[in-house]
């Protein structure tokens, strides 16, 4: 199979550059730990308890660590698989997603949950990477006037009444 065909879904079309796996894992662990802190804050605010603001760390702080470990595991696995294969494609993201899903199963102490999460997160991350790693539609942003014009063309127009009927 030609190199261009096997690397069709890759985000990098040039020669492969190895990634620093540990640095990537630390960075993603910090970012996802920040997301975990945000989720923990919401959990703490919505729960009824007598621990005050420190409940973010004492009561729901496990969420912070869980998010950090899950993000770091994803980034580490994605980088290691990419470095071993010397390719930057969707399979790397799928492997990272699978590893992150296994972390979710380990936290719940459930092998079926871990395998299901591995399959689901791996498939989602692989598909996301294969389709361009963006949530944008690919269409340029439209002005409100062009959106209104497109809406008018799409919907059926009301028929106009002849003026002779109104005169009667």
- If one counts every other C-beta atom within 10 angstroms of the C-beta of residue 114, the result is 19
Provide the b/e sequence for 50-75 (b: ≥16 CB within 10 Å): eeeeebbeebbbebbebbbbbbbbbb
pTM across the whole model: 0.73
> Which is nearest to 101 in space by CA: 76, 122, 128, 77?
122
Give, for all 168 residues of the chain, the pLDDT tens digit.
Answer: 344 444 444 455 578 899 999 999 999 999 999 999 999 999 999 988 887 888 899 999 999 999 999 999 999 999 999 999 999 999 999 999 999 999 999 999 999 999 999 999 999 999 999 988 877 766 677 778 888 888 888 887 777 776 665 555
What residues does each domain of the chain span?
19-133
């Amino acid at each position: 199979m030609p190199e261009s065909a096997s690397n069709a879904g890759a985000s990098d079309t040039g020669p492969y550059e190895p990634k620093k796996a540990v640095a990537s894992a630390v960075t993603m662990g910090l970012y996802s730990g920040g997301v975990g802190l945000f989720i923990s804050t919401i959990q703490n605010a919505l729960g009824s308890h007598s621990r005050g603001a420190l409940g973010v760390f004492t009561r729901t702080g496990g969420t912070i660590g869980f998010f950090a470990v899950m993000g770091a595991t994803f980034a580490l696995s994605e980088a290691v698989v990419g470095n071993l294969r010397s390719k930057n494609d969707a399979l790397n993201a799928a492997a990272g997603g699978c590893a992150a899903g296994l972390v979710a199963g380990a936290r719940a102490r459930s092998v079926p949950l871990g395998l299901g999460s591995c399959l689901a997160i791996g498939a989602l991350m692989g598909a996301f990477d294969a389709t361009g790693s963006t949530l944008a539609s690919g269409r340029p942003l439209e002005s409100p006037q062009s959106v209104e014009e497109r809406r008018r063309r799409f919907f059926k127009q009301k028929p106009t009444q002849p003026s002779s009927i109104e005169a009667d």
